[in-house]
Amino acid sequence: MTPRYAPGDAVRVRGKDKYGHVRTPDYIKGKSGTVAALFGEYRNPEELAYGGDGFPKRPLYKVSFSQAELWNDYEGSASDALYIDIYEHWLQDEGEDA
């Protein structure tokens, strides 16, 4: 699978709800961030958790989020960021409709 995103790309985390084991925290669903790194491709842990084989492998990214955008009344520096590892199937282009 060819990775869809590269470092520096603006992305949005899909806001979908999914029952069971997911690797994407609820507090970043629907939030915008910037791809900081591509780690490679790995088997999908959401499928592995239920006995699946996790194939096809999925690209895994490190995505940066502004702390001020994530938390109401954030009092830290405007440059503070939170980095989260996110699989590609949870990401969409910044301007793409959910």
**Nearest to residue 83, comparing CAs of 69, 59, 62, 68?**
62
**Residue 15: what pLDDT?**
87
**Residue 98: what pLDDT?**
59
Listed as ranges, residues in the chain with pLDDT below 50 are none
Q: Give domain limits for the chain.
A: 10-93
- The CATH number of the domain covering residues in 10-93: 2.30.30.50
**Residue 22: what pLDDT?**
82
**Residue 16: what pLDDT?**
77
> In percent, how much of the chain has pLDDT > 70?
98
